[in-house]
A and B are shown apart, each in its own frame.
Chain A
């Protein structure tokens, strides 16, 4: 028997005539199939809609969480970090400081001191926001970051030819312009040193670097030398460029 066998060639005809005679797929079968599909479709919808709902809720929750994290938590964390490192003290926080601290900062204000020989003659004077130790920084107007890096007793030989009994205190500060505009910083207007009696000490040397404007992103380190009377404690003031507030760094004679 090969492919040309008439029986095989006529297999379809023979099968249809003998074994497969009649109609075996009717409307009833179609309806059964459609019903089965409708059932599975309904089941699919029933399973998809809750899944979509749950998925949407999850996405919404993630978005809300992200927004909450970035808008509420992250700024607080960065703010805390900034306060820790740079001691940015907002106005509100100053008002919540303890009474003792307020009194302390008010009394040390060189601007209000009657015995001052400061160049600043304003009656009210800037408000002292924080009392820091050497090595701490503060961010002020124009995103100017100021840090007192070191203090030292400057040998008189570096400044003067004659030996004096005065103590020359060199305050090394780092200034960084993190803003977008040039900043002009006048040492005479912004930097002051007071002794334990709150008497301001005159500046006798300013680093020439400070004469130039501080460009955005620029970072300089300068030394300001004060001619001081000997004192156990010193207070270095940096008046904010706005002139409305100032920060004080406290150090002792032994730190020099």
Chain B
């Protein structure tokens, strides 16, 4: 078997695997990337980058953690690289990065209040510094365990707990201030 053929066969196996992980995690990863980067185009780029890295580094996956944790680790690192990049820092967000329009269905007063609280908490979470935001998202949004987050972010479990508590504290503070984001 020629080298090219051999490489192509391996490539086809990997291609099948790639399709599977894209179907499984594509949407979820894009959302998490958005929660990191607050910009859909950047989130899509980060996810593309993540899948390309996964494909290239598949052989390096040792199975120490679950495949999902491994992929999320790559995503979080990629998002952080984006955040550190000069390109990201130069981006001027025109208007709020967040969706401001509330779904205008059955506008009962209570429902509106609840939705407002939900909107507020989401906005508060997105406004948190990255190191608190990521643990809050991974813990509350993705339901990862503290141990998994610790592996993913390569920090101790204690550090994860501390960041979670501090993140919650900051969220509480903003709630007691009536949700005034300007005072953050």
Contacts and interface: CB of A to CB of B under 8 A. Distances in A.
Contact of A25 (B27, B118, B137, B169): B27
A15 B48 contact: no
A24 B122 contact: no
Contacts of A79: none
A15 B122 contact: yes
B6 to A, nearest CB: 11
B103 interface: yes
Contacts of B98: 19
A15 B32 CA distance: 10
B168 A20 contact: no
A9 B118 contact: no
Interface stretch (A33-41, A110-118, A155-163): A33-41
Interface stretch (B15-23, B59-67, B72-80, B83-91): B15-23
Contact of B122 (A11, A32, A36, A41): A11
Interface residues of A, number: 34
Interface string A1-44: 11101011111101111111101110001101110110011000
Contacts of B43: 24
Contacts of A3: 164, 168
Contacts of A41: 11
Nearest to A2: B168
Contact of B47 (A5, A8, A29): A29
Given A17-B103, A40-B56, A45-B7, A30 B26 contact: yes
Nearest to B169: A1
A77 interface: no
A25 B47 contact: yes
B3 interface: yes
B81 to A, nearest CB: 17
Contacts of B122: 11, 14-15, 18-19
Contact of A29 (B35, B44, B126): B44
14 contacts: A1-B169, A1-B171, A1-B175, A3-B168, A11-B136, A14-B122, A20-B34, A21-B99, A25-B22, A25-B29, A29-B48, A37-B55, A41-B11, A45-B4
Given A1-B168, A7-B117, A33-B22, 10 more contacts: A5-B168, A8-B168, A11-B121, A11-B122, A17-B118, A18-B115, A18-B118, A19-B99, A37-B18, A37-B52
